[in-house]
């Protein structure tokens, strides 16, 4: 999620695909979450104190597992 993008040269690269990305789609007038092969509406759920969440390789794998 917060990894460096400096070596990503292709939009199909796994390092880019595995990032948790948020997109506002005008066609649907809604926010969508994309990660690897998953794409779904955000839902605007309460995320708690995410500013206190420490991003580690484990939390990256958890987000990837939950979206897939």
Structure tokens of 46? 């309460």
Per-residue pLDDT of 4-55, as tens digits, reads 445 667 767 777 777 778 889 888 898 888 888 888 888 877 666 667 777 7
pLDDT of residue 47: 66
Per-residue pLDDT of 29-43, as tens digits, reads 988 888 888 888 888
pTM over 0.75: no
The answer for residues whose C-beta is within 8 angstroms of residue 34's C-beta and 6 or more apart is 20, 21, 22, 23
């Amino acid at each position: 999620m917060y990894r460096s993008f400096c070596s990503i040269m292709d939009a199909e690269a796994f390092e880019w695909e595995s990032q948790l990305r948020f997109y506002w789609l005008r066609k649907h007038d809604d926010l969508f979450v994309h990660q690897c092969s998953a794409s779904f509406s955000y839902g605007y759920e309460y995320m708690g104190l995410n500013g206190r969440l420490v991003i580690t390789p484990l939390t990256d794998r958890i987000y990837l597992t939950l979206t897939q």
